[in-house]
């Protein structure tokens, strides 16, 4: 898997350097090859072809003006785009039409991030690349579950290792089970009587 990451360094965004570091580390840890204007000495000389990319990630308020060409190229090739804006920043006019288009919502994700929420958005983006759609729905059903201390220790350890919350880890396990359960999938496809 190969992703292009684009960002412009911003003076008033103190979290940005750490966000960049998290993005690079997340993709590296998950076996994703990452190309970026931040890694190339002269980005304008880079030969960028989206037919060999699986997706585009853009970060930052200042990147909006510069990224139009990249967004257009990725959309023309049908590649998923993840656009990060710092939490609390306003949605730029240039992105409103993309955000409101129902067809593009499947491939264009716009997220306001904090350092805490960044990993979950990256997981969602990998899901979109791998499956062509966002598999995770927004959780709306409240469910109380009690664990033994041993189970909780394991969940804490595993979720920390995966860099996601315990709840997200359990949701992901259940989603994987749903997809792999052939009997349930057949049940879903069966016409209702």
Best CA proximity match to 123, nearest among 29, 11, 8: 29
Q: What is the pLDDT of residue 17?
A: 86
Token pair in block for residue 48 = 């960028």
Residue with tokens 């965004």: 13
Q: What is the pLDDT of residue 153?
A: 95
Report yes or no on whether pTM surpasses 0.85: no
Cα–Cα separations (whole angstroms), residue 126 to 51, 79, 117, 144: 17, 12, 15, 29
Q: What is the pLDDT of residue 45?
A: 45
What is the DSSP secondary structure assignment for residue 105, as one 8-state letter? G
Judge if 105 and 54 occupy the same domain: yes
Q: How far is it, in rounded angstroms, from Cα 63 to Cα 85?
A: 9
Residue 172, classified by CB atoms within 10 Å of its CB into exposed (0-12), middle (13-18) or buried (19+), is middle
Judge if 129 and 150 occupy the same domain: no
Token pair in block for residue 114 = 């904090």
Each residue's pLDDT tens digit in the chain (193 positions)? 899 998 888 777 788 889 899 899 988 888 889 988 888 765 554 567 777 888 899 987 776 677 888 888 888 888 888 988 888 888 777 777 777 777 777 778 888 888 888 888 888 888 778 776 555 555 667 888 899 999 999 999 998 888 888 888 898 888 888 878 888 777 766 655 4
Domains contained in the chain, number: 2
Q: What is the pLDDT of residue 156?
A: 93
Judge if 92 and 159 occupy the same domain: no
**Which CATH number covers residue 105?**
3.40.50.450
What SS3 state is found at 84?
strand
Bridge-based pairing of strands 2-7 and 55-59 is parallel
Domain housing 161: 137-193
Judge if 107 and 162 occupy the same domain: no
* End-to-end CA separation in angstroms for the chain: 43
Chain segment 44-72, per-residue pLDDT in tens = 545 677 778 888 999 877 766 778 888 88
């Amino acid at each position: 898997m190969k992703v292009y990451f684009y960002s412009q360094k911003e003076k008033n965004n103190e979290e940005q350097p750490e966000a960049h570091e998290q993005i690079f580390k997340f993709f590296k840890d998950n076996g994703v090859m990452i190309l970026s204007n931040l890694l190339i000495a002269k980005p304008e000389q880079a030969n960028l072809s989206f037919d060999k990319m699986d997706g585009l990630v853009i970060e930052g308020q200042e990147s909006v003006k510069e990224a139009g060409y990249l967004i257009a190229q990725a959309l023309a090739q049908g590649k998923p785009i993840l656009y990060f804006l710092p939490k609390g920043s306003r949605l730029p006019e240039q992105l409103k039409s993309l955000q409101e288009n129902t067809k593009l919502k499947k491939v264009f994700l716009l997220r306001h991030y904090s350092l805490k929420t960044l990993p979950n958005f990256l997981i969602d983006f990998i899901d979109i690349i791998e499956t062509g759609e966002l598999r995770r729905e927004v959780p709306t059903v409240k469910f109380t579950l009690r664990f033994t201390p041993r189970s909780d220790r394991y969940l804490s350890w595993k979720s920390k290792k995966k860099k996601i919350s315990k709840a997200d880890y359990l949701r992901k396990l259940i989603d994987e089970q749903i997809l792999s359960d052939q009997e349930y999938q057949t049940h879903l496809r069966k016409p209702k009587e």
